Structure 1
Amino acid sequence: MDLSHLIARNAAFSPDKPAIHFEGATLSYAAFNTRIEATAKALKSECGVGRGDRVAILSLNRPDYLVLLYACARLGALLVPLNWRLAVAEQLFIISDASVKVLVLEQAFAAVLPPLAAELPDTRVVALDFAPPAPGQSLDALLACGSGDGRNPHTDLTCPLLIVYTSGTTGRPKGAVLRQEALLWNGVMSQHMHGLTSDDHVLTVLPFFHVGGLNIQTTPALHHGGTVTIHARFTPDATLAAIAEARPTLTVWVPAIIQAMTDHPAWAAADVTCLKAVSTGSQIVPPHLIARLTARGIPVLQVYGSTETCPISIYTRLGGDLTRTGSTGLPGLCCEAAIVDDAGTELPPGSAGEIAIRGPNVFFEYWGNEAATSEALHDGWYRTGDIGTRDADGYFWVHDRKKNMIISGGENIYPAEIERVLLEHPDVMEVGVVGHPDPKWQEVPVAYVLLRPGCGITAELLKAHVLGQLARFKVPRDIVFVTDLPRTALGKVQHFKLKQATDASK
């Protein structure tokens, strides 16, 4: 059995049921399964994709993204999702690092083709929506030539399926390898978290190159026979229209999306009664954003995890205890979580330490990087690099990234704590806090602040605001007003880039 078996079984049980809606078209489970089989046959017979080979995709969200995932599962191959927001040089590094055999490409990102031909001429190009230069060919043309059974020997749930490259904080990105069984168990935990059934309808607006967009709800819904509406990329207007017309029951919104949705002029009047829950995570979620959803009667579920955990590992559950403000919940149904010190010893409730995760959802290795794998995995436990605490009942709170921690005069300062206070000021829209070298204190906090339009508060007034709620040593030494902040594709502030800018200015 491999992961594509779940789609085949759903096709047998409910062949005519909609699996995927996309841009006005619907793919039934039977049609979805048929295209997976045809794609696997073509990749094997025409491209020579064998067990363990890598197939990359550079595209916005579309049904064939998911088709490729399950076709790779059927073949025992690995899918490498490429972040379309990266520079071409960064994409080429990943293609080279993973020794990609086939690149499946959307025309919007064809700028990668000339340097790919020059630097990696052996990578086969398959085009999704255009006629590529020879010797590449379109996906439809490839499918027309496919033959055979579209399977490779010795393929099962233990086979690696995904290599998802993490942005990292320094140096080159690392490719986290997730086995097929990681997605299976991740789906079981999603079902537990969301009360997910075949009656659910998921609206996916996060990018598939991120495990949050791919695996928090999308693949779990397909495994359980539900329906998924896919958006190529997020826009508030399209999301509001989908809620009004498609009436989804579940969706995942990171904080930046919650902000955009609830700031939209049409939000207050929108009928959101179809949503049984909105899940959120990817960073510490400001309480005022959660309040905007709960004020509309929408339960908000928090999920904690990372690329390396597929990502579901700690979560609050629909129908569970949602009253513990700021808590990201309990360890998932199929994994363990602990708070440990630097030696890996589990700490008692209330003590701050590093969050560690162990379970079948955890990644297998960093692709071709034994040193990084050894540093991250200890006796099956993944050291996340995040600082957190748990209470006596086992509920977890995430405080900050370990690498973001500022040590000032022997005191540990977690930037997220300062960010939370600054975000409570009505003039502040977004903020990122990092440490700046200081000859006396070793480091002092510096805040980069993006103000709301029309606001003009001074740095001194913002410092006074922080001083009213936090210890003096936590007050930012400097507040730098900016017009934008460096961020990931999910809108998360990239602290390491702020840190680089701060260090460069010293």
Structure 2
Amino acid sequence: MSGLPGPAMPELRPAVRAVNLAELLSQTARRLPGHDAVVHGADRITWRELDRRADAVAAELRARGVGRGDPVLVDAPNQVGLIAAMFGVWRAGGVFAPVNHRLTPPETADLAELVAPAALICHGSHTGHAEAVRAAAAPRAGVLWIDAPPGEGPDLAALPRPADPEPNEPVRTGDHAWYFFTSGTSGRSKAAVLTHDQMGFVVTNHLCDLLPGTDHTDAQVVVAPLSHGAGVHLLPLVARGATTVLPTSASLDPAEVWRLVETERVSSMFTVPTILKRLAEAPEAARHDLGSLRHVIYAGAPMYRADADRARAVLGEVLVQYYGLGEVTGNITVLPPGEHDRPVPDGLQFGSCGRPRTGIQISVQDDDGRELPAGEQGEICVAGPAVFAGYLNNERANAESFRDGWFRTGDLGLVDAAGYLYVTGRASDMYISGGSNIHPREIEEKLLQHPAIDEVAVLGMPDPQWGEIGVAVYVAAAGHDEAGEVELRDWLAGRMARYKIPKRFVRWETIPKSGYGKIVKRTIREQLEPAPAPAGVPGPGIP
């Protein structure tokens, strides 16, 4: 009977009223007007003041004709003006489209062409970016500035506060709220469409699964760009009235971060594995009182077991891992502090990234879309309210990313009998050498157990004999500059099948990373010159 059509479903009502994300700020400002919302150096901004700054942004945008559904491109580093712009754009009904402040002018112009912004909000240090956006997209409402350069204006901080509070623009289910740009590590960026109702679920889910017990007595320190995952993480903190602390350093300064954790009694932070690794290895971590920390959340890329264990040894049992793409707004799995020692199934070399988030379903599928049983590797697919609405103006990508209603992550993994997920690699990272499929993550995990390796990336490169060969690009740990190819190959020889061992080992001073802290294998591939396997080294063979 399962193949027969079900009963006819009644016609659904049209799109209903959703809650504008700016309402998060409105409610908190009414409830906690004098409480610290943002701390940035000597500046302590209350919720009342932040709300009034958002009012001023919204009023200015409305005066320029920006309203419901109009994209506003925002290019600024982490500071109060960026947060005011975020909520001001939503209050006016616009779509928040933040770019990574580290992009070049041409890259920013490409994103402007993609979203066709009605207005640009730009930091005064990026006049070249503003010119590039003007040339590429000609925003009809012009440019507003954060820390305006001489001769330019208006400056957001100097905008007059409206006599009466600005209302939050009414929105409906499905209305666009955020154009979340993919990091572009494997090609040109796309804009994932996040909606107000979807993000309302995400905020609730973050509080439930990542930040339980958070309230106005808590504080977070921001160590990643608010244009990406850290910006999503900001929203549940706003909902609960917790304080956001912004470091003053232009780049990551572990000494400042750990000082702020102590002085501001920081209880949470959102980070990515490469940043968490630096913070945990910094000597300042041992010089400050970090006892206020409860939730050190890391996501965005796999964290190697050796790095996670080191961070736990330094910070205690406060690590919260989640797995999630921007297209699912980070909401796929969670691994809370008490589960980081969960036993690893036979045959796997690394731990779980957690169990499904509340309200989310995971399906590991084969190439034909059939769900695989526990223990079998396939593509990780996801369903639930956190899944995005699709890519902006990219029907081809939408068609490729969904199958039978499931969002296809492009990642490979398996689930155990209890439903915990193990990400084994990225489908696009897999390479075929001598007829064998090879997944880099297993090799990377093994190499990071060697004391001479600080960072590593393994990828397949073209080879006339084997089709592709494995190349390991690594950064040597301090005091281990002598580690070489023979030593590393011998290290792996007793730990994995011969055909998996890379044929080249290349030592670099640094490994390229995106503005979000992710290792960029596309850039590594572009910088590597294909070369044949060294003489005398056995080929991959068949296991």
The TM-score bracket by the shorter chain reads over 0.9
How big is the shift at 1:84?
1.6
| Structure 1 residue aligned with 2:15 | none
| Inter-partner Cα distance in structure 2 for 1:152 and 1:240 | 37
Q: Which one of the candidate residues 488, 491, 505 is aligned to 2:517?
A: 491
Structure 2, unaligned runs of 5 or more:
1-18, 345-350, 533-543
| Structure 1 residue aligned with 2:325 | 306
| Inter-partner Cα distance in structure 1 for 2:340 and 2:457 | 30
| Structure 2 residue aligned with 1:155 | 171
Matched residue of 2:428: which SS? helix
Q: Does 1:394 align with 2:413?
A: no
Structure 1, residues 357-414: CA drift from partner, whole Å, max 9, x if none?
1122111121111111111123432111111111000001111111001122332211
Q: Which one of the candidate residues 1, 6, 22 is aligned to 2:40?
A: 22
Change (3 A) 1:250 1:368: same
| Inter-partner Cα distance in structure 2 for 1:343 and 1:466 | 35
How big is the shift at 1:119?
4.1
| Structure 1 residue aligned with 2:6 | none
| Inter-partner Cα distance in structure 2 for 1:133 and 1:324 | 62
| Structure 1 residue aligned with 2:541 | none
Q: Does 1:434 align with 2:459?
A: yes
| Inter-partner Cα distance in structure 2 for 1:482 and 1:404 | 20
Structure 1, unaligned runs of 5 or more:
none
Q: Does 1:2 align with 2:20?
A: yes
| Inter-partner Cα distance in structure 1 for 2:291 and 2:490 | 41
| Residue pairs, 1:438-449, within 5 angstroms | 438-449=463-474
- Report the AA paired with residue 227 of structure 2: F
| Structure 2 residue aligned with 1:93 | 110
Q: Which has the larger radius of gyration?
A: 2
| Structure 2 residue aligned with 1:372 | 397
Contact 1:41–1:147 (CA<8 Å) still a contact in 2?
A: no
How big is the shift at 1:503?
6.3
Q: Which one of the candidate residues 486, 494, 504 is aligned to 1:460?
A: 486
How high is the TM-score relative to the length of structure 1? 0.93
* Identity, % of aligned positions: 29
Q: Which one of the candidate residues 181, 185, 199 is aligned to 1:183?
A: 199
How high is the TM-score relative to the length of structure 2? 0.87
How big is the shift at 1:481?
1.4
Contact 2:411–2:426 (CA<8 Å) still a contact in 1?
A: yes
Number of positions where the alignment pairs a residue of Structure 1 with one of Structure 2? 501
| Structure 1 residue aligned with 2:311 | 293
| Inter-partner Cα distance in structure 2 for 1:185 and 1:391 | 27
| Structure 1 residue aligned with 2:101 | 84
Tell me whether 106-115 or 243-252 shows the greater mean CA deviation.
106-115
Q: Which one of the candidate residues 364, 367, 380 is aligned to 1:339?
A: 364
| Inter-partner Cα distance in structure 2 for 1:103 and 1:310 | 24
Structure 1, residues 407-463: CA drift from partner, whole Å, max 9, x if none?
223322111111111111111111111112233432221111111244211201111
Change (3 A) 1:195 1:344: same
How big is the shift at 1:167?
2.9
Matched residue of 1:266: which SS? helix
Q: Does 1:323 align with 2:339?
A: no
Contact 1:278–1:298 (CA<8 Å) still a contact in 2?
A: no
| Inter-partner Cα distance in structure 2 for 1:147 and 1:375 | 49
Contact 2:30–2:48 (CA<8 Å) still a contact in 1?
A: yes
Change (3 A) 1:400 1:63: same
| Structure 1 residue aligned with 2:75 | 58
How big is the shift at 1:349?
0.5
- Report the AA paired with residue 450 of structure 1: V
How big is the shift at 1:151?
5.1
- Report the AA paired with residue 392 of structure 1: A
How big is the shift at 1:307?
1.1
Structure 1, residues 92-128: CA drift from partner, whole Å, max 9, x if none?
1111221012111112222223434444444511111
| Structure 1 residue aligned with 2:407 | 382
| Inter-partner Cα distance in structure 2 for 1:243 and 1:32 | 22
Q: Which one of the candidate residues 118, 127, 130 is aligned to 1:113?
A: 130
Contact 1:280–1:300 (CA<8 Å) still a contact in 2?
A: yes
| Inter-partner Cα distance in structure 2 for 1:157 and 1:41 | 24
